[in-house]
A and B are shown apart, each in its own frame.
Chain A
């Protein structure tokens, strides 16, 4: 087990952005895995983890028992702690380099909730201002308007009226 690699991740939770290095240290006699975690180059701390369910982790941090859900999402995990959900974006630094090369400053407008596209309010080439409504998505009988995060030109529209979209799906790219 000692030959397990150390992997680094850029992790974002709201305003918190941290680079975290993870390595698997050992597996205990009870089958729990012990990880070494180093946040932003600090001292390594040990955390013992079991997986009672595929998307559930039980962490022992010292004597403290923490149950956490970690449901995979498009850009990371939906992590619940004490019943409260946290959107955790996880990027590994090498991927970020690849991605940044591919996109040339375009902004993706994503939907936070899955649903059905009720209306597309813009066309490719349209100039929009910040907060202009772009797309209306409906779920559970509620309509939500997606607004432009900044001024720009519509470069690509990835959906049309009636499409079903997943959470975090890119609907529009803004140039």
Chain B
């Protein structure tokens, strides 16, 4: 491996005043700086476009699907991410050594690392993503909100500076409108936060927030934000070329979350009016243009029950949930990323894009819903994916693969399309029923309960949907256990195992397997 570049990457501080308009430049071999399902997804798009692929892998990922599918592969270090997938200098060196002319970062890992993006560009390679300036500008939540506010994009109203006294708190609250939230400036974890539903609650909330902030953080500074009631998380997919054109590919509703992690996504958002959709998508394009965005990106919004919406942040990469957008638009986002990176101007206009039907994605996590969502990594000796009409699985699991303990527990994404929402729900139920991941526990049985929940079926839900009470209800509504039948299966499986051992008295020893012949006393009695 060659040494890292001695010069730190220089990232311009201001948005370029004009589009880059780069010359067309073919890509022949892409290094994918990622693993798992997203590496597989990128490999597919590359191979469709006749582009070769370089997989990188950690020592525990030698058998991983992305390594098997790529045209080239190179080990980049030990299992922990910081010793392999996060080592920018090693990834860069491998890109040079394997003759890659472009790098696709996927999501997570190095995908939103502006310094890495700049290093890729400085090395003379194509970075398949936005320019480092755009990544940086959207990288910090507070900075990007200030920038967006300046560009006329709606952000959650409030102060970012601490309030002087109660009088100022009342004044600001009246200006932005109740309900509001008082938040400890030094805060986090819900401490020093108080809801204020109306003016007459301000005095006591002010005292409580201040004293809690003081006792929790030794700092009684408090600021104020408008409280969005029962918010939904709605995001807009954008796509921009390097020649100044930008389009949106409609929205995705990602309100179903557990511990701030998205679990289920759908498009269209079941409660968005055409007027709000038009306004929100226009704002997303405006936000992308404000940072001279290139490639695929996503603007996240809080969408209030009253129809208001506010910019949260922009994800400057491909999103996990991009397949549902592909299903309703018929448009391949990863292919688009590649073509834009090659300098191609957008080959279609906004009017060419339509939302057709309805798509739902369910994220399959290797976690046990019945055991407090404990991680459930391990070997998967048997695996059957749902297929059939309008069912898509983006995964990296196969029979004989292993889910390592080192990485994200999301192992696959099940996405379905239906001509309308009801059809998509029926299809999701059928696909979940077909899905078998054996040897580990997953969120699949939980989803079978979730997609029958009346509030989910109605489409009227918020980010608070998966509260503890509903979680308990859904776990109780999972397909019922069949202990008597399971016991019979266990007995038959044990019988087959013991009979096989007994009929091959020397096999265990000769094959050097770890199961000692003495493990079953039946062997002796059957001789």
Give residues of chain B (477-527) contacting chain A, Cβ–Cβ below 8 Å.
478-499, 502, 520-522, 525-526
Task: For residue B505, give the distance in angstroms from its CB to the closest CB of chain A.
Answer: 14
Give residues of chain B (342-397) contacting chain A, Cβ–Cβ below 8 Å.
366-368, 371, 374-378, 381-382
- Point out the residue from B433, B441, B486 that lies within 8 Å of A79, measured CB to CB: B486
How many residues of B are counted as interface, with CB atoms below 8 angstroms from the partner's CB atoms? 55
Query: With the chains together, A70 CA to B489 CA distance in Å?
Result: 7
Q: Does B36 contact A (CB under 8 A)?
A: no
Query: With the chains together, A134 CA to B441 CA distance in Å?
Result: 25
Q: Is the CB of A4 within 8 A of B490?
A: no
Q: Is the CB of A5 within 8 A of B486?
A: no
- Point out the residue from A5, A9, A71 that lies within 8 Å of B494, measured CB to CB: A9
Q: Is the CB of B494 within 8 A of A77?
A: yes
Knowing A24-B495, A84-B479, A95-B521, the reply to whether A71 touches B489 (Cβ < 8 A) is no
The stretch of B214-222, B283-291, B405-413 that contacts the partner chain: B405-413
Knowing A92-B522, A140-B407, the reply to whether A81 touches B499 (Cβ < 8 A) is no
Query: With the chains together, A115 CA to B499 CA distance in Å?
Result: 33
Q: Is the CB of A115 within 8 A of B494?
A: no
Query: With the chains together, A44 CA to B366 CA distance in Å?
Result: 38
Task: For residue B396, give the distance in angstroms from its CB to the closest CB of chain A.
Answer: 15
Give residues of chain A (22-57) contacting chain B, Cβ–Cβ below 8 Å.
22, 24, 35, 37, 39, 47, 49, 51, 53-57
Q: Is the CB of B377 within 8 A of A140?
A: yes
How many residues of A are counted as interface, with CB atoms below 8 angstroms from the partner's CB atoms? 64
Query: With the chains together, A7 CA to B493 CA distance in Å?
Result: 12
- Return chain B residues, CB-CB under 8 Å to A144: 374-375
Q: Is the CB of A13 within 8 A of B487?
A: yes
Q: Is the CB of A141 within 8 A of B408?
A: yes
Knowing A83-B432, A140-B408, the reply to whether A76 touches B490 (Cβ < 8 A) is yes
Q: Is the CB of B375 within 8 A of A142?
A: yes
Query: With the chains together, A107 CA to B439 CA distance in Å?
Result: 26
Q: Does B448 contact A (CB under 8 A)?
A: yes
Q: Does A14 contact B (CB under 8 A)?
A: yes
Most buried by A among B368, B382, B489: B489
Q: Does A18 contact B (CB under 8 A)?
A: yes
Q: Is the CB of A83 within 8 A of B435?
A: yes
In the complex, residue of chain B having the shortest beta-carbon distance to the beta carbon of A165: B405
- Return chain A residues, CB-CB under 8 Å to B436: 67, 69, 80, 83
Q: Is the CB of A140 within 8 A of B482?
A: no
- Return chain A residues, CB-CB under 8 Å to B526: 5
Give residues of chain B (437-462) contacting chain A, Cβ–Cβ below 8 Å.
438-439, 441, 444-445, 448
Task: For residue B452, give the distance in angstroms from its CB to the closest CB of chain A.
Answer: 14
Task: For residue A84, give the distance in angstroms from its CB to the closest CB of chain B.
Answer: 5
Query: With the chains together, A164 CA to B399 CA distance in Å?
Result: 23
Q: Does A109 contact B (CB under 8 A)?
A: no
- Point out the residue from A37, A55, A112, A141 that lies within 8 Å of B491, measured CB to CB: A37
Task: For residue A99, give the distance in angstroms from its CB to the closest CB of chain B.
Answer: 11
In the complex, residue of chain B having the shortest beta-carbon distance to the beta carbon of A76: B490
- Return chain B residues, CB-CB under 8 Å to A95: 520-521
- Return chain B residues, CB-CB under 8 Å to A164: 405
In the complex, residue of chain B having the shortest beta-carbon distance to the beta carbon of A115: B405
Task: For residue B432, give the distance in angstroms from its CB to the closest CB of chain A.
Answer: 7
- Return chain B residues, CB-CB under 8 Å to A47: 488, 492
Q: Is the CB of B377 within 8 A of A139?
A: yes
Task: For residue A156, give the distance in angstroms from its CB to the closest CB of chain B.
Answer: 21
- Return chain B residues, CB-CB under 8 Å to A51: 496
Query: With the chains together, A70 CA to B482 CA distance in Å?
Result: 14
Question: Which residue numbers of B lie inside 8 Å of A, CB to CB?
Answer: 366-368, 371, 374-378, 381-382, 399, 405-409, 432-433, 435-436, 438-439, 441, 444-445, 448, 478-499, 502, 520-522, 525-526
A-B CB contact pairs (8 Å), 13 listed? A9-B494, A11-B487, A16-B484, A20-B491, A22-B491, A35-B492, A37-B488, A51-B496, A76-B490, A81-B482, A88-B486, A113-B374, A115-B377
The 10 closest A-B pairs by CB, nearest first: A88-B490, A86-B486, A70-B493, A13-B483, A69-B438, A140-B375, A20-B491, A139-B375, A22-B495, A139-B405
